[in-house]
Structure 1
Amino acid sequence: MTNETPIIPAKELAARNRAHFPNESVEYRHARDALLAEEIELRRHIERVAEMRRRLPQGGEVTKTYRFEGEAGPVTLADLFADKDTLIVYSYMFGPQREKPCPMCTSLMASWEGKVPDIEQRVALAAIARSPIERLIAAKKARGWRQLKVYSDSDGSFTRDYVSAEDADVPGYTVFTRRDGTIRHFWSAEMSNEMADPGQDPRDAPDPDPLWTLLDTTPEGRGKDWYPKLEYPSGV
């Protein structure tokens, strides 16, 4: 026997929809309700994937003492946890060879900036790049960010172990846990360019940047010839 509540088929749930809008056609409503059933299935699939992620076996123990330069001085990976048991590290593309930070990384980080107080209710969050901390602070101030914490992986040891063995200027998203004083790797985004579907840019699922989620609700979609920029002409 099971005590689990039976899942109602998505089409049955969609049939309960009472939404209608002025002057819509029968054809529109039929197609929209079919889409609604798929959206319900997508919601369920997202939750199944999240549950699989939560049930991952223990990841590898972090045995090195990774050191970073923060806005207030030197810190270790353990310090980045503060009083939390879980730490999210976003490694962004702003290596010494770059004149300015990556626009795509900047777009993503900008979307998190205002949510830092909410995020930090549950987990710690740190943004790490390979440039000297002075450059990271200057770029942060240029964006008007006050809440997102940035750190320099000056010697590159963390980047080489958890982002790119070649120390390439690529992004990374890594989650660590600390239980009973032991830090372990929990999960990292692993979708690479080689895993992209035909006609699509490489992307994670779900996409961590809400920019793309919003554009996906529009008839134009994400498009294939537009990407975020660090600056736009006045008035745009």
Structure 2
Amino acid sequence: MISNEQTAAMKKPPVVSAEQWQKAWEEMLVKEKAHTRSRDALAAERRRMPWLAVEKDYVFEGAQGKVSLLDLFEGRRQLVLYRAFYDSDVYGWPDHACVGCSLGADQVSHLSHLHARNTTLAYASRGSQENIARLKQRMGWERIPWYTITDDFDKDFGVDQWHGHNVFFRDENDKIFRTYFINNRGDEVMGSVWNYLDVTPLGRQEDWEDSPEGYPQTPRYKWWRWHDAYGSEDAGLTKTIEKGMELLNL
């Protein structure tokens, strides 16, 4: 809670008229749009980064027993795998995971939207499945697939000392490739559908994106659904979306 004394001590910006405020906002908007375009360009470069083949067979423990890295994809093409710190040497154990990792888990949006873009999000820790199940229920994270690391996966992928998101792609022959990695500053903003998709090799898969030839793309907005309506056709919803796209000249 910020006290009255603290707000009184703040060096605040000037108070201006509505016209002056509008002008200042429009000037800032130009910079914000430039930042958005720059972020899109960075994501386009990311989609053209080289890939690293995953040659080792990694084993995780899941709710139903031992699983491979390939199993973590759940049949989809892309996997974003977050290494969360939940282990006996983490403060708060066993009731809580790392504070930062927990804040990140609280930010995770509904996974159905990622699944609609052929992308799986999963968490992995050193904690046992018994403890992970109890933690997920306690904190309301039941939707997040959460696995136990059993080998050198964390060391091999740069997440043995610090949290991070590793991004993988599964090709038509079930060969797995590491395509990107995010840790430290930048990792804290992950949680929205768009942040996850922007770090994947396929991106948002919308037709405005600058992607390599042959990459899957569909019209923006048109694939969006309520999170419980993917896989079903709704003529009214489709018509509403198409009308909105028409009004926006999309």
- With structure 1 as the length reference, what TM-score do the two structures score? 0.68
Aligned residues: 172
1:24 & 1:94 partners in 2: Cα distance? 51
Look up the equivalent residue of 2:190 and give its one-letter code: P
3-state secondary structure, aligned to 1:107: helix
Shift of 1:115: 1.1
Tell me what 2:111 maps to. 116
Tell me what 1:227 maps to. none
- Contact 1:70 / 1:150 at 8 angstroms: preserved in 2? yes
1:89 & 1:81 partners in 2: Cα distance? 9
Look up the equivalent residue of 1:183 and give its one-letter code: I
- Contact 2:84 / 2:98 at 8 angstroms: preserved in 1? yes
Query: What are the Cα deviations for residues 118-137 of structure 1, in whole angstroms up to 9, with x where unaligned?
Result: 11222011100111121111
Shift of 1:102: 1.3
Tell me what 1:76 maps to. 68
Shift of 1:182: 1.1
Percent identical among aligned pairs is 26
Tell me what 1:183 maps to. 176
1:171 & 1:188 partners in 2: Cα distance? 11
Tell me what 2:34 maps to. 41
Q: Which segments of 5 or more consecutive residues in structure 2 lack a partner in the other structure?
A: 1-15, 196-250
1:1-236 to structure 2, matched below 5 A, reads 24-57=17-50, 59-98=51-90, 99=93, 100-112=96-108, 114-122=109-117, 123-155=119-151, 157-164=152-159, 167-168=160-161, 170-179=162-171, 180-190=173-183, 192=184, 203-204=185-186, 207-209=189-191
C-alpha RMSD over aligned residues: 2.1
C-alpha spacing 1:184/1:151, structure 2 compared with 1 (3 Å)? same
- Contact 1:128 / 1:150 at 8 angstroms: preserved in 2? yes
1:39 & 1:208 partners in 2: Cα distance? 20
Shift of 1:181: 2.1
- Contact 2:165 / 2:187 at 8 angstroms: preserved in 1? no
C-alpha spacing 1:205/1:133, structure 2 compared with 1 (3 Å)? closer
Shift of 1:172: 1.1
Query: What are the Cα deviations for residues 187-215 of structure 1, in whole angstroms up to 9, with x where unaligned?
Result: 0015x4xxxxxxxxxx21792146xx9xx
Query: What are the Cα deviations for residues 29-83 of structure 1, in whole angstroms up to 9, with x where unaligned?
Result: 11111001011101101100110001112x2211111100111211110111121
C-alpha spacing 1:62/1:87, structure 2 compared with 1 (3 Å)? same
Q: Which segments of 5 or more consecutive residues in structure 1 lack a partner in the other structure?
A: 1-22, 193-202, 214-236
